[in-house]
Structure 1
Amino acid sequence: MVEFDQYLGFLAFLTILTIGFWLMIFLLTFVVPYWLGGNLLEMWKERQAERKAKRNE
């Protein structure tokens, strides 16, 4: 038979596992695309600035 402290440990394990799963889903769906989009936008702005500087020389 399962004792009460083992039951609480199992519930704590499931809670931590579930929180980690949803955190991973959140990071992959919102944070990573935001980071990649911002990075690509900054690279594009730098290239535009370099082209503009070359034209003005």
Structure 2
Amino acid sequence: MDFGLVLLLLGGFLLGGAWSIWRSDDDEKGRTGPQVVFAVILLVAALLASASGLLRLV
């Protein structure tokens, strides 16, 4: 298996995690600060992993 493909899969996994954290808000309080920060960190990591995987495949 090519390393670029592994990075693309990791990016997709991290993107799913970011989406899952973003969706899990409380009905009354909404999203908390740490929840937003963690979702943004996962989103940035997913974008970096996906971009590096694409560049590795090209």
TM-score (norm 2): 0.49
Higher-helix-fraction structure: 1
User: Could you say which structure has the greater relative contact order, defined with CA pairs below 8 angstroms and 6 or more residues apart?
Assistant: 2
Question: Based on CA coordinates, which of the two structures has the bigger radius of gyration?
Answer: 1
TM-score (norm 1): 0.50
